Amino acid sequence: MNSSAIKRMEIVNELSFIPDNQIDSIKTFIEFLLFRNGNTAKKNTRSLQDIWKNKGFEKIVDLESEIKAIRKQLSDSIINKKV
C-alpha cells in the first residue's frame, strides 16, 4: 500500500478521536482544502424521501411491532436450526 493511502487511513482513524464539538470545524477545513485545490465538483446526491411511499407499509398499523416480531421469528429460527 502506498504512503498516501496509509496516510488517508490514519487520518480517518484519528478522526474518531476528535471531540464532537470540533467535527464541524474539521469538515469546514476539508471543504476549504478541496476548494483551494479546485475540487469543487458537486456531489451527485439523491433524496431518499418517500422511497417507501405507496409500497404497502402504510397498511401496517404498528410497523415497529411488526418488525420486532419478524426479527424475533428469524432469531428463533436461526437459534433452533440444526447444523
- In this structure, is residue 66 part of a structural domain? no
**H/E stretch holding 53:** none
Angle subtended at Cα 50 by Cα 52 and Cα 71, rounded to the nearest 5 degrees: 35
- In this structure, is residue 80 part of a structural domain? no
Angle subtended at Cα 66 by Cα 83 and Cα 62, rounded to the nearest 5 degrees: 170
User: Considering its fold, how many domains does the chain have in total?
Assistant: 1
Q: pLDDT for 39-73, tens place per residue?
A: 765 666 777 788 888 888 788 888 889 999 999 99
> In Å, what is the CA distance from 67 to each residue of 7, 31, 35, 61, 76?
42, 39, 44, 12, 14
- In this structure, is residue 8 part of a structural domain? yes
- In this structure, is residue 9 part of a structural domain? yes
* pLDDT value at 26 more than 70: yes
Model pTM greater than 0.75?
A: no
- In this structure, is residue 19 part of a structural domain? yes
* pLDDT value at 24 more than 90: yes
- In this structure, is residue 63 part of a structural domain? no
**Can you give the residue range of the structural domain that contains 8?**
3-36
